[in-house]
Each structure stands twice: as structure tokens, then as C-alpha cells.
Amino acid sequence: MAEKQNVIGRFAPSPTGTLHLGSLYTALASYLDVRSKQGQWLLRIDDIDCSRNVDGASSAILYALDALGLHWDADVVYQSQHHEYYEAAFMQLSNNNMVYRCTCSRKNIDALIYPGSCREKVVLDVMSYAWRLKTDQRIISFYDEGQGLIHHALDTQHGDFIIKRKDRLFAYQLAVVVDDYLQGVTHVMRGCDLIDSTPKQIYLQSLLNLAQPCYHHLPILVDSFGAKLSKQTRAPVVDLTNPEWVLFRLLGLLSQNPPAVLAKASVSEILQWAISNWQPHVLIGLQAIKLNKC
Ligand SMILES: [Zn+2]
């Protein structure tokens, strides 16, 4: 029981638009998982890349979660207010001689994996450069609660990756690792389109001496062509005037087999049922769930 009380999960959407069904799918799963363990569920707005942020998207996200009864604990955290923490982590890596400047553009990197061309290069301040993290030959292994045992060779499958971009923004990988640490996150549940980020994040955690959370990568919702639901694939807008129906549908897509009578229940009754009956194991090994009507 003591272990259960320490569970902290999070939902971390980017404010690039309103939440579509695919994002809400992940949000609901993460919420149910944490609540079924009597844990805390935190909300973080991943707004570090200001150029992609859409006006009003953050408040639309909060509104949607609230309408669905997915109430978060503690204050909402905004990545854009965490620059000093990212800078401190970056300096730690820099002081340990783990980063270097890279002037390459995507166009002049032929290989899929960056071959480390700039490792020994002298790059002057006046040049345009990104910062890359040095990787080595280690194998990163972790047990994913949704996808099983994963092994990645850091050098051949990832290579030296960017942690600070040419536009001076800290890269997603560094920001996420620092934020998960700052929020005390113990359980990361997210879509399996992000599973390739996990070995990079585990590597960063080891370099920064941070605890590694449990990872659980869920199937993602795809349209009838197999494409992930997103703004680009014109994911249907979720009708928040009928939150009960949205929750009921999501529970079906999460293979939780909600009883038909639940369709007529209130938001809090539906969530109560879903928390008590939460069965994440039915999703193990699945990478995509196809939406029939899309
Ligand atoms: Zn380079």
C-alpha cells in the first residue's frame, strides 16, 4: 500500500491546438492508471517551442480535461517557465564534457543516424550551431509496461542527439527529463509513437543522476488509412457538449468493455467505474487502434 501512495503520473500535451480524440485517449488512460493506484495526476503544458504554440490552445486543453472530469492535482506547470532548470542541466552536461557544437543542417547529414561529424570540429561563437550530446556504445534496456522488454543500441540506433537547438531552445528530450524529475513523476504513460524517445531520456537521466520512472507506451489511435490522429490528418473535433459519450467511447477504444448502462451515467459515475475496473493489461503489445469512422 505504501508504494501505491507514491505514484505520480502526468499528462503533458503541447498547446498546438485543441485536444483530439487521440490525445484524450492517452490522457484518460494515464488518469485512470494513476487514480487506480491512488496516485497524483499532474498536468504539464509542453510549450517550450513557442513557434508551434497556438493562441488559446492551453486554455482549450484545460477546458476539455475539466469537461471530461479529468481533474489534475497541483498547479499546471508550463515548460516555458522552466528555462533556468534546463540551463542548469545543460551546464552540468557541458561541465562534464558531454556536449559539443554542431553546425550541420539536416540537408548535409546523409545518414539517418548522425555520425558525429562535428565532435572534433572547432566551431566559433559567431557560427550558427546546435548542441549535441555525446553518446557511446552502451545498450539501453528497459521494461515497458505496454510493449515489453526494449533494447536499444545508443550509438547505432540514436547517435549523438541535439539537446539545444540552433534557435537556442532546449530540445524536447532534455526538457522532458528535467520536468519529469522536477515534478517527481514515477509513471510515464504515453503513446507508442514516443517510444523511440525513451532510450534517449533514460540516457540523459543516467548522465544527470536522476531517477528513472516506469514507462508504459500505449497504442495510438489511427484513422482508416493507418495514420496517427493529428491535426494534419484532420482528426475529428471532439464534441465536449456530450462528455459522457466521449468518455464512454474512449473506454471502448481502451478495450475496457464498459457496460451499456454506463452510457447513461454521469461523468463522475463513468470515471468511478473506469477507475475501479481499470485493466491496462488488455492493451499490452498493441501499437495502434483503428478508428472505424474517421
Ligand atoms: Zn555536425
Residue 156 belongs to a domain with what CATH number? Answer: 3.40.50.620
Distance 207 CA to ligand 1 centre (A): 22
Q: Evaluate whether residue 14 is within a structural domain.
A: yes
Please give the tally of structural domains in the chain.
Answer: 2
Neighbouring-strand partners of residue 100: 132
Identify whether residues 251 and 270 lie together within a single domain. yes
Asked which of 119, 148, 173 is the last residue of a domain, the reply is 173
Residue 228 Cα, ligand 1 centroid: separation in angstroms?
31
**What distance in angstroms lies between residue 98's CA and the mean position of ligand 1's atoms?**
15
Residue at 45 is within a domain: yes
Separation of CA 124 and ligand 1 centre (Å): 13
The CA 199 to ligand 1 mean position distance, Å, reads 21
User: Do 163 and 237 fall into the same domain?
Assistant: no
Copy the grid coordinates of residue 281.
493489461
pLDDT in tens, 3-34: 445 999 999 999 998 899 999 999 999 999 99
pLDDT in the model for residue 1: 43
Residue 206 CA to ligand 1 center (angstroms) comes to 24
- Both 233 and 267 in a single domain? yes
Q: Among 75, 65, 67, which Cα is nearest to 42's?
A: 75
Cβ(229)–Cβ(291) under 8 Å?
yes
Q: Are residues 96 and 166 in the same domain?
A: yes
CA of residue 101 to ligand 1 center, whole Å: 7
Between the CA of 114 and the centroid of ligand 1 the distance, in Å, is 8
Q: From ligand 1's centre to the CA of 118, what distance in Å? A: 4
Full-model pTM: 0.94
Question: What CA–CA distance (Å, rounded) separates 247 from 267?
Answer: 8
For residue 277, is it within any domain? yes
Is the residue at 96 inside a domain?
yes
* Structural domain of 108: 83-173
What residues pair up with 199 in beta bridges, in sequence order?
Answer: none
Are residue 74 and residue 100 in the same domain, yes or no? no
The candidate with the shortest Cα–Cα distance to 195, out of 256, 239, 143, is: 143
What pLDDT was estimated at residue 161?
97
Predicted local distance difference test score (pLDDT) of residue 293: 52
Cα–Cα distance measured from residue 86 to residue 106, given in angstroms and rounded to the nearest whole number: 24
Query: How would you write the pLDDT of the chain (294 residues) with one tens digit per residue?
Result: 444 459 999 999 999 988 999 999 999 999 999 999 999 999 999 999 888 899 999 999 999 999 999 999 999 999 999 999 999 999 999 999 999 999 998 877 778 899 999 999 999 998 899 999 999 999 999 999 999 999 999 999 999 999 999 999 999 999 999 999 999 999 999 999 999 999 999 999 999 999 999 999 999 999 888 888 876 666 777 899 999 999 999 999 999 999 999 999 999 999 999 999 999 999 999 999 988 754
Within a domain: 136 = yes
Burial string for 100-136 (b: 16+ CB within 10 Å, else e) reads bbbebeeeeeeeeebeeebeeeeeeeeeebbbbbbbe
Q: What is the structure's pLDDT at 5?
A: 55
In a domain, 184, yes or no: no
DSSP 137: S
What is the pLDDT at residue 291? 86
Cα 164 to ligand 1 centre (Å): 13
Q: Which residues surround ligand 1, an ion (CB under 5 A)?
A: 102, 104, 117-118
Question: In terms of domains, do 75 and 97 share one?
Answer: no
CB contact at 8 A, 136 and 102: no
Q: How many residues does the chain have?
A: 294
Residue 113 domain-assigned? yes
**Residue indicated by cell numbers 485512470:** 32
Residue 23 lies in a domain: yes
Q: At which of 173, 201, 233 does a domain end? A: 173
